[in-house]
């Protein structure tokens, strides 16, 4: 079966960067900064990755870069989305398929082998997890309580999911703590 080499589509990260550029021209560094504050909750992109992605986008003709000299700061390259880029972004967005979500938790790996973990350590880990989760949930609540500027209704949707998931994890942590504290086992 000669599977005609399907012209590989760029991965999600590429289009995530392109999406940010659809808000307006930015330098890679600037893109990284806004990615950290927006997408990062469900799609982190490292700084060096952004540089790679804009280069790929430029080769594809989806963005154009322009050197900008600055005063007191290093020169930078500001990228602007092209019409081809806008089209490609919309085609990608109109495709309902997407890779499966991934969740990765080193914390849970340790819990999974909890029978070998000292009881106090386990308690401490769950406690810390509870605190971290609580802080995250509260940060999201604050964001969601603010009046978001128009056009951010969809960002709000993603934050709502984050809040609900965080609350669920928080509930788990609280109940698990009770359960672990109730267990007076002597796992030194």
Positions touching a copy of itself (CB under 8 A) are: 12, 15-16, 19, 22, 38-39, 41-44, 89-90, 93-96, 98-99, 101-118, 121, 124-125, 128, 151, 153-155, 157-158, 160-161, 164-165, 167-169, 171-172, 176
**Binder to DNA among 69, 73, 94, 109 (CB under 7 A)?**
73
Choose the one of a copy of itself, DNA, none that binds residue 75, judging by a C-beta under 5 to 8 angstroms depending on kind: DNA
- C-alpha–C-alpha distance, residues 186 and 21, integer Å: 57
CA nearest neighbour of 118 among 24, 187, 48, 186: 187
Phi, then psi, of 50 in degrees rounded to 5: -60, -45
Q: Among 78, 82, 93, which residue's Cα sits nearest to residue 16? A: 93
User: Taking CB under 7 A as the criterion, which residues in 87-146 touch DNA?
Assistant: 102, 104
Query: What number of chain residues touch DNA (CB under 7 A)?
Result: 25
- As beta bridge partners, residue 63 has 81
- Rule CB under 7 A: say whether 38 interacts with DNA: no
Identify the residue among 33, 82, 158, 176 touching DNA (CB under 7 A): 33
**CA atoms within a 13 Å half-sphere pointing along the CA-CB vector of 148:** 18
Q: Whose CA is closest to 60, among 9, 20, 104?
A: 9
Kindly list the residues in this chain that would bind DNA in the complex (CB under 7 A): 10-11, 13, 27-30, 33, 44-49, 51, 70-77, 102, 104
């Amino acid at each position: 079966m000669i599977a005609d080499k399907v012209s590989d589509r760029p991965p999600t990260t590429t289009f995530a960067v392109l999406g940010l550029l659809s808000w307006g021209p930015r330098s890679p560094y600037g893109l990284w900064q806004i990615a950290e504050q927006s997408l990062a909750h469900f799609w982190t992109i490292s700084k060096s990755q952004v540089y790679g992605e804009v280069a790929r986008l430029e080769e594809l003709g989806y963005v154009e870069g322009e050197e900008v000299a600055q005063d007191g700061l290093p020169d930078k390259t500001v990228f602007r989305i092209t019409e081809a880029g806008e089209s490609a972004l919309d085609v990608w967005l109109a495709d309902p398929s997407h890779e499966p979500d991934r969740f990765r938790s080193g914390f849970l790996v340790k819990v999974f082998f909890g029978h070998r973990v000292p009881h106090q350590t386990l308690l401490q880990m769950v406690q810390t997890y509870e605190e971290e989760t609580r802080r995250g949930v509260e940060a999201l609540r604050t964001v969601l309580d603010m009046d978001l500027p128009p056009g951010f209704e969809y960002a709000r949707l993603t934050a709502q999911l984050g809040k609900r998931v965080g609350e669920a994890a928080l509930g788990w942590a609280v109940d698990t703590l009770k359960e672990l504290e109730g267990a007076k086992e002597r796992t030194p």
